[in-house]
């Protein structure tokens, strides 16, 4: 009789594996977005691993690089990255410790801190950009180039829609 139980367990395991291959379609938008974000972060983090950066750190360096000489304040960068200032601060600490970014006092308003990409940070960004492109190309090859473009458009529309901001 043990073989019957073992056979049933094998069938149950097969059924569980099959169910995992076709996920339930739930109605919770945030759950779906978080699941997708975790999957993508894992893929990008794995590809970026040789550089020592996580995808969130690469995103910060990328945003700073795109601004050129226009140094953002902590508040401005947090808003652009759709992060609260304390979370951004936690993400900046290792980058600052490793000499990739520096925090400067804003000469126009000494209460504000400006964030600058260092020469070392620019080098690390350029190194990581090659790996990021590998992850980006991999995603687009699997998901589809046009679908990826459409997805980014939708996600950025959500990210920058003030109607989804904190409401009291």
Alpha helix positions (H), the chain: 2-21, 29-48, 55-66, 74-80, 85-97, 119-143, 145-159
**Do residues 53 and 64 touch, judged by C-beta distance below 8 A?**
no
Distance CA 113, CA 50 (A): 31
Would you say residue 10 has pLDDT above 90? no
Q: Where are the domains of the chain?
A: 31-160
User: What is this structure's pTM?
Assistant: 0.81
Cα–Cα nearest to 44, from 126, 165, 153, 138: 138
Average pLDDT over residues 130-152: 97
Would you say residue 116 has pLDDT above 80? yes
Res 162: pLDDT: 87
CATH number for domain 31-160, candidates 3.30.420.40, 1.10.3720.10, 1.10.10.10, 3.40.50.360 = 1.10.10.10
């Amino acid at each position: 009789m043990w073989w019957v139980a073992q056979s049933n367990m094998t069938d149950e395991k097969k059924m569980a594996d099959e169910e995992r291959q076709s996920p339930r379609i739930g109605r919770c938008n945030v759950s779906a977005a978080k699941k997708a974000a975790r999957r993508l972060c894992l893929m990008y983090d794995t590809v970026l691993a040789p550089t020592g950066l996580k995808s969130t750190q690469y995103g910060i360096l990328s945003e700073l690089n795109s601004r050129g000489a226009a140094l953002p304040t902590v508040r401005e960068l947090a808003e652009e990255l759709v992060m609260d200032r304390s979370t951004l601060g936690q993400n900046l600490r290792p980058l600052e410790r490793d000499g990739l970014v520096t925090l400067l006092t804003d000469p126009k308003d000494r209460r504000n801190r400006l964030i600058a990409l260092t020469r070392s940070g620019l080098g690390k960004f350029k190194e990581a950009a090659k790996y990021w492109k590998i992850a980006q190309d991999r995603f687009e090859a699997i998901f589809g180039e046009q679908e990826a473009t459409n997805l980014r458009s939708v996600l950025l529309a959500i990210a920058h829609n003030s109607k989804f901001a904190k409401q009291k």
